[in-house]
Amino acid sequence: MRPIRLARIAAEAEGVRWRGMMSRIVTRAILAVIALLFVLGAVAFAHVAAWYEVRIGLGQSYLASAGILGGTDLLLAVVLGLLASRSSPSRVEVEALAVRRKALEGIVGALSLTQLVIPILRIVARARRRRRD
C-alpha cells in the first residue's frame, strides 16, 4: 500500500508544481508581450532613422531607400528563420526525459513487486493460521 500512497502523494505534488509553473508562465508571457511592444516601437524608430540615413546620407531615392531596408530585413528574417528551424532538444532536456522515464519505471517496478508480494503474504498468513488451529 505504501508505493500506491507515495505515487498518489507524488501525483498531488506534481499537480501543485504544474499549477505554480503555469502561473509563472502566464506572468512571464504577459511581461514578454509588453516588452515586445516596446521592442517593436524601438525597431520602428530604428527603421525610420535608417531610412532617413540611406535617403539623405547616401543620397538615394525614396524607392531605393525602401528597397535597401526591405532587402536587409528580408535577409535578417531568412537567417533567423534558418537558425530557428535547426533548433533541437538540448542535452539537459534529453537527460531530464531519461530521468523521468527511469523514475516511472521504478514506480511500476515497485508497484508490481508489491502487488506480487501481498497475495503471497496472504497465503502465508492463512497457512500459519491453519497450523495454529
Query: Which residues have a Cβ under 8 Å from the Cβ of 114 and sit 6 or more positions away?
Result: 1, 2, 3, 4
Instruction: Identify the segments of the chain with pLDDT beneath 70.
Output: 1-3, 108-116, 133
Distance CA 62, CA 69 (A): 11
pLDDT score for 127: 83
Asked if residue 69 lies in contact with residue 51, where contact means CB atoms within 8 angstroms, the answer is: yes
Asked if residue 54 lies in contact with residue 60, where contact means CB atoms within 8 angstroms, the answer is: yes
> Within 13 Å, how many C-alpha atoms sit on residue 41's CB side?
6
54: nearest Cα among 41, 36, 34, 73: 73
Q: What is the CA radius of gyration of the chain?
A: 31
pLDDT score for 111: 62
- Name the residue ranges covered by the structural domains of the chain: 1-87, 89-133
Angle between helices 2-52 and 91-132 (to 10 degrees): 170
pLDDT score for 114: 66
pLDDT score for 7: 75
